Amino acid sequence: MPETLDITKYKSNVAPDWCPGCGDFGVLVSLQKACAQLEINPKDVMVVSGIGCSSNLPGFFGSYGMHTLHGRGVAIAQGVKLGNPDLTVIATGGDGDGYGIGIGHFIHAMRRNINITYIVMNNQIYGLTTGQASPTTLFGVQTKSTPEGSIEVPINPIELALVSGATFIARGFSGSQEQLSDLMAKAIQHKGFALLDIFSPCVTYNKVNTYPWFRERVYSLQEESHDVNNWEAAMKIARSPDNRVPTGIFYKTINPTYESLDAGLKFGPPAKQRLGLKSEEAQVLINSFK
């Protein structure tokens, strides 16, 4: 009989050490629920991250994982997926990691339509380095690096994803776990690049975009009968004023994935191919790395 998978199967032996009340706790639990719902065996999951508070997530999740370099999580995730397309590959990180130093990798992964899921915990601040303005900090907000208020226009990740070719674009709120775990399950099931931008409040350094701030503003696109196949409508909603924060699926479409078009993968996952060496030659190669 197949083993029944529940949320405990996706918990690691390392307890999360985020600040009490951090929105990332809700993201972690929602991801565990989504994988349990989809009954994905933990051995078939790879979670890759960059650097930041949120990028500690792979250590708290019971699967294969890699904690890589700042802004490079998506780049590594692409390599993992091309090396073994049979894996469910999930990249996780924060707004500074993904929309700042990692933005180049983010854009190119979307235009390639690599079949990975990218979960961004967007707290609109640099939390790990104690409260500087990030690429998504709202105009005028005072932070440690902008004591008189930010003078930069923030990046709109939904708008950027729409013009860069992502084939599944959604937004969640860590304070709405039921909706969030459902969005994660849909993103993971999607064949192509899936972005899930999640407002995950930083309770220590962001005193503006708090749980009450979001609860007064968030609403579900699916409850308002938004057509997820309408790119123009999605773009219009992505430009909503700050007094309304849409969540749910903005846009989705089906396009060929990079892996389906890559001639190098026609013989199956490279990770499972024979090296073309005799056993004794392979052993010499393996020993050279010891």
Dump pLDDT digits (tens) for 57-73.
Answer: 999 999 999 999 999 99
Q: Is the pLDDT of residue 87 over 70?
A: yes
In this structure, what CATH number is given to the domain that contains residue 88?
A: 3.40.50.970
Q: Tell me if 1 is assigned to some domain.
A: no
At 185-226, the pLDDT tens digits run 999 999 999 999 999 999 999 999 999 999 999 999 999 999
DSSP 3-state of 197: strand
The CA distances from residue 278 to 32, 275, 282, 287, 290, in Å, are 42, 9, 6, 14, 19
Q: Does some domain include residue 2?
A: no
Give the separation between CA 63 and CA 175, rounded to whole angstroms. Answer: 24
Residues 232-244 pLDDT 10s: 999 999 998 778 8
Indicate the pTM of the whole model.
0.93
Number of domains in the chain: 1
Q: Specify the pLDDT at position 1.
A: 40
Of 45, 101, 40, 42, the C-alpha closest to 74 is 101
In the predicted model, what is the mean pLDDT of residues 98-117? Answer: 97
Range of the domain at 74: 7-287
Q: What is the mean pLDDT of the chain?
A: 95
Cβ atoms within 10 Å of 264's Cβ, excluding its own: 8
